[in-house]
Structure 1
């Protein structure tokens, strides 16, 4: 049986434009604006062409299809993630900054959650982040496959904490729930569980955004502490 080749926009040279027109950078920037305002379902070649005041067919000179366009904008997301040089700031500071930055970038561009695990991160900016993060774990003392395991553990934590928050934010944005009334209803449902009720009431004294930041940082420090302990064995 003949296997199907894997295609990616990064596996071919960009076409050279024979006449003045839109650049690929302009198209990607406009696509990101559409995605930020309307999400994945709101992006189409027709809408993008209208936004750029050019026909959708002309866009196919730059990208073969919508998937290639999404690969390009996905790489732009990775380009917004900060990863300090681990040899300058130390490995823990480098990966900590990366984790916080990745979370903020995902929250700023919530549609990116729809691409994680579905879209290959093979662009130059994504590979730069991956390479620098990998070097940080190598500098920490991890060797062989443990470097990739540590890297995977960190990114899985970021995704696991951030994607549900994006989903919750979207659900709340599409509803007209009163947040205090909702909290009161949750507290009523948990009336027979005093330990849970204590936690629910404690959260009401803090700004929800602050609680999420503290929770994320608590988990991140715990993950990095665990990884560091493995090095001590």
Structure 2
């Protein structure tokens, strides 16, 4: 693709696709240029470097999170929808979870999400810092639920790049972990359940935890109809 027909939007969208397939370590200007049908130097006319590109790609995918209107649905429905959509977005793009440890993300995509998230909890009755705390509690819960998946994705890609079979490596480790678990009664009873798989949890664990968290926030609203900042 000639430089004069290349756009930043095309570069960012292609970078997202490459990141999804190869992870953070698999993104470089040469591979991106090849995928775009141009040379790496043409990409530099639109983005500064790889770090700049990761920031742009990261903000781009925040636009995928659904933002239900808190005036059209109750606050719990809106909060549940946003949390579920955020979980799905981070699951589609595990490299973003990994990048949180190395990049400071900002931009209109993330700001759009954060502003709307606060609006949902303000609609519920939380005020000021209390709304910030409620929004942060739900966000960190969602993030914690995708960390294991993101770590496994990163591990699998790293093993593949070294020529190893990720499934074989994980199965070997899990065999050793099962042997250790035999000495622990509660773990031993779960060895033949889905929970025994690597990074596994029972079905609907995310929904169960989110519901429990929102139950707690709703109980706080009942105790204090207009919770504000704690002293």
Instruction: Return closer, same or farther for 1:201/1:176 CA change in 2, 3 Å cut-off.
Output: closer
Aligned residues: 214
For residues 102 and 209 of structure 1, what CA distance do their matches in structure 2 show? Answer: 20
Per chain length, whose mean CA-contact separation is higher, i.e. which structure has more relative contact order (CA < 8 Å, sep 6+)? 2
The answer to whether 1:52 aligns with 2:43 is no
Question: Which residue pairs with 2:163 in the alignment?
Answer: none
Q: Say whether 1:198 aligns with 2:182.
A: no
CA contact (8 A) 2:20 2:93 kept: yes
Equivalence for 1:43: 27
Q: Please name the residue that 1:163 is paired with.
A: 147
Change (3 A) 1:172 1:67: closer
Question: Structure 1 residues 68 and 134, CA, compared in 2 at 3 Å: closer, same or farther?
Answer: same
Question: 1:41 Cα deviation (Å)?
Answer: 0.9
RMSD between aligned residues: 2.7
Deviation at 1:177, TM superposition (A): 3.0
| Consecutive unaligned residues in structure 1, runs of 5 or more | 1-18
> For residues 23-34 of structure 1, what are the structure 2 equivalents within 5 Å?
23-34=7-18
CA distance in structure 2 between the aligned counterparts of 1:146 and 1:191, rounded to whole angstroms: 45
Q: Which runs of 5+ in 2 are unaligned?
A: 160-165, 224-231
Rounded to whole Å, the distance in 2 between the matches of 1:119 and 1:184 is 36
What TM-score results when the alignment is normalised by the length of structure 1? 0.80
Aligned CA distance change for structure 1 residues 91 and 200 (closer, same or farther; 3 Å): farther
SS at match of 2:41: helix
Query: Normalising by structure 2, what TM-score?
Result: 0.80
Which shifted more, 171-180 or 152-161?
171-180
1:1-233 aligned within 5 A = 20-171=4-155, 174=159, 175-177=166-168, 186-203=177-194, 211=201, 213-233=203-223
Q: CA deviation at 1:216?
A: 0.9
Task: State the shift of 1:20 in Å.
Answer: 3.5
Q: Secondary structure at the match of 1:165?
A: helix
Q: Which moved more, 1:194-203 or 1:170-179?
A: 170-179
